[in-house]
A and B are shown apart, each in its own frame.
Chain A
Amino acid sequence: MRSGSNLEQALESGRFAVTAEIGPPRSASAERIRTHARQMKGCADAFNLTDNQTAMSRMSSIACAVVLLQDGLEPVVQMTCRDRNRIALQGDVLGASALGVRNILCLSGDHQTFGSMKEAKNVYDLDSIQLLMVLRRMRDEGKLWSGDELEVAPKLFLGAAANPFADPFEYRVIRLAKKIKAGADFIQTQSIYDMQRFERWMSLVREKGLHQKVHILAGVMPLKSHKTALYMKNKVSGMCVPDSIIDRLRRASDPKEEGIQMCVEQIQHLRDIEGIRGVHIMAPAWEEKVPEIVRRAGLSSIS
């Protein structure tokens, strides 16, 4: 065990793991995080906390993670390279580890032009792959990237993202391999709607044996209406939403129920794909639905 986290234990034991996402509030109060924690406790092995998602300042992912820990939930802290340089990132990881955080997801981060402070200066001192390299050295060698020894090394389970729906398509598998080489223990994918393309990607992943080297959690996101689906298709970068999904939601008498049902079906489908070791459920501003999705998908074996 590298970190001893629940998530690591679940994945190492071979049990189909579940992670879910919680969006930190644009607030100085942690009340909403506590509400989500009460609603979601027990429905997933660990909970991702996004890091200034869509380049908008929110409560820090590490602070939210500590709130979750206080309530007995296990966090996955997302860290983006957009806002901090290697000095701040390493310092934050030491602090997070001291406070009990074990799972860290390394991301480059949405460009700041997506947020409400487009004029901000970005950092990108490291990219996501370099962040993995840096954190792995901290964990395995007990050293900062500079080579300075740490008194106590952090215990970390390192994650990264993969987006099979971004281009160039063939390169996406090379990039996954690179992330594994750099230190990724687990992967969470972008939300999957185009199952055909995802399967094509997974078969390339298996061809290279990458599914044996890293735990892949497939990303899903329930849609509330055909308008949300259209928005995802047209406005969110790196997303593929097939028209059949948009049509199905448009025709539905209860689009929200249809969205949940579709998500449940997707999870059941993904469970049967060789090499998928778990599912990552993202329901921004719809977190309360996650327990129902987990139950209906028959993922009830979570501790």
Chain B
Amino acid sequence: MIVGEQKPLEEIFRMLSGHERILVAGCRSCVAVCHAGGEKEVSILAEALRLRASLANHPWKVEEITVERQCEREWVEAMGPLVKGKDAVLSLACGVGAQTVQVLYPRIRVLPGLNTSHMGAPDMPGVFVEKCGGCGDCLLHLTGGICPIARCAKSLLNGPCGGSQNGRCEISPEVPCAWDQIVRSLEAMGRSDLLEEPIPPKSWLTARDGGPRRTVIPTAVISEEQRKMKGERP
């Protein structure tokens, strides 16, 4: 899932200055799971904004909505009646959701209420850890199911650097050494042999370095005619 964190309130207040009619828009997907942008967070933040407006004499009129997925047009289109007449949408979705809103409502300022942190998973209640670097060329079959791109501070592909000690990364005792985990995982599955062969330089073409990525699923692509029939804009 995409993990996000709400921006500090003061930063949100600063972004909103100069705006009057504000819609706080949440998303029930990933960012709801990490307690950053779901219905509950939307209502808490909206309340905080109303309180701030009355204390600091801001002209803010705050409304709220939370949709199923802010990254998909269909759900964002359904926000239309509430977006109408607003100066700003404060999006509590990830950066993808915020951009989808902006595309559909180009005249309205969409402000990010969250910082999109990473792709991760809950490690324990309340703790979310980055698990995938989204490099577009998965290596997990060589690394015992642990991603060195995301989880090694140096994205090393050939084993732990000289800074790994007692299973911890050199950058901090708080950070587990991904390669220590990889070595142990491969040992546990009896595949230590995979550690012996040097992995050659990786192609980063499929990663962000290759430019913005685009995924096409041919079987799901609909024809121009079908689009017209659905009444979609060209």
A181 B170 Cβ-Cβ under 8 A: no
A125 B204 Cβ-Cβ under 8 A: yes
Which B residues, 142 to 162, have Cβ-Cβ distances below 8 Å to chain A? 153-162
Which B residues, 183 to 204, have Cβ-Cβ distances below 8 Å to chain A? 183-184, 192, 195-201, 204
Name the B residues within 8 Å of A166 (CB-CB).
160-165
Which of A20-28, A169-177, A264-272, A293-301 forms part of the interface with chain B? Answer: A169-177
**Which chain B residue shows the least CB distance to A122?**
B154
B170 A125 Cβ-Cβ under 8 A: no
Partner of A175, one of B155, B159, B167, B199: B159
Question: How far, in angstroms, from A165 to B163 measured CA to CA in the complex?
Answer: 9
Name the B residues within 8 Å of A147 (CB-CB).
none
A86 in the interface (beta carbon within 8 A): yes
A213 in the interface (beta carbon within 8 A): no
Most buried by A among B161, B177, B184: B161
Question: How far, in angstroms, from A219 to B24 measured CA to CA in the complex?
Answer: 60
A134 B201 Cβ-Cβ under 8 A: yes
Query: Looking at chain B, what size class is its interface with the partner chain?
Result: 20 to 34
Query: Looking at chain A, what size class is its interface with the partner chain?
Result: 35 or more
Given A126-B201, A130-B200, A133-B201, the answer on whether A171 and B195 have CB atoms closer than 8 Å is yes
B162 A127 Cβ-Cβ under 8 A: no
A182 in the interface (beta carbon within 8 A): yes
Question: How far, in angstroms, from A177 to B184 measured CA to CA in the complex?
Answer: 19
A171 B159 Cβ-Cβ under 8 A: yes
B180 in the interface (beta carbon within 8 A): yes
Partner of B162, one of A114, A122, A190: A190
B200 A111 Cβ-Cβ under 8 A: no
B54 in the interface (beta carbon within 8 A): no
B180 A125 Cβ-Cβ under 8 A: no
Partner of A133, one of B153, B162, B200: B200
CB distance from A77 to the nearest CB of B (A): 19
Name the A residues within 8 Å of B162 (CB-CB).
108, 161-163, 166, 190, 237-238
Question: How far, in angstroms, from A177 to B155 measured CA to CA in the complex?
Answer: 20
CB distance from B203 to the nearest CB of A (A): 11
A16 in the interface (beta carbon within 8 A): no
B201 A86 Cβ-Cβ under 8 A: yes
Which A residues, 94 to 140, have Cβ-Cβ distances below 8 Å to chain B? 108-111, 113-114, 122, 124-130, 133-134
A200 in the interface (beta carbon within 8 A): no
B167 A167 Cβ-Cβ under 8 A: yes
A237 B170 Cβ-Cβ under 8 A: yes
B171 in the interface (beta carbon within 8 A): yes
Name the A residues within 8 Å of B198 (CB-CB).
129-130, 133, 178, 181-182
Question: How far, in angstroms, from A145 to B202 measured CA to CA in the complex?
Answer: 11
B160 A167 Cβ-Cβ under 8 A: yes
Name the B residues within 8 Å of A133 (CB-CB).
198, 200-201
Question: How far, in angstroms, from A273 to B199 measured CA to CA in the complex?
Answer: 32
Partner of B158, one of A109, A110, A127, A237: A127
Question: How far, in angstroms, from A110 to B154 measured CA to CA in the complex?
Answer: 9
Which A residues, 78 to 95, have Cβ-Cβ distances below 8 Å to chain B? 81-82, 86
B215 in the interface (beta carbon within 8 A): no
Question: How far, in angstroms, from A171 to B187 measured CA to CA in the complex?
Answer: 11
Name the A residues within 8 Å of B155 (CB-CB).
124, 127
A238 B163 Cβ-Cβ under 8 A: yes
Question: How far, in angstroms, from A108 to B184 measured CA to CA in the complex?
Answer: 22
B166 in the interface (beta carbon within 8 A): yes
B158 A174 Cβ-Cβ under 8 A: no
Given A111-B154, A127-B157, the answer on whether A238 and B165 have CB atoms closer than 8 Å is yes
**Which chain A residue shows the least CB distance to B159?**
A175
Given A126-B201, A130-B158, the answer on whether A110 and B196 have CB atoms closer than 8 Å is no
Name the B residues within 8 Å of A108 (CB-CB).
154, 156, 161-162
CB distance from B137 to the nearest CB of A (A): 14
**8 closest pairs, A vs B, by CB?**
A163-B162, A237-B170, A237-B163, A129-B158, A127-B156, A238-B162, A130-B201, A182-B198
A-B contact pairs, 5 of them (CB 8 A): A108-B156, A130-B199, A166-B163, A167-B177, A171-B195
Interface set of A (CB-CB < 8 Å, partner B): 81-82, 86, 108-111, 113-114, 122, 124-130, 133-134, 145, 161-163, 165-168, 171, 174-175, 177-178, 181-182, 190, 237-238
Given contacts A171-B160, A238-B163, 8 further A-B contacts (CB under 8 A): A108-B156, A122-B154, A133-B200, A165-B165, A167-B166, A174-B195, A174-B196, A190-B162
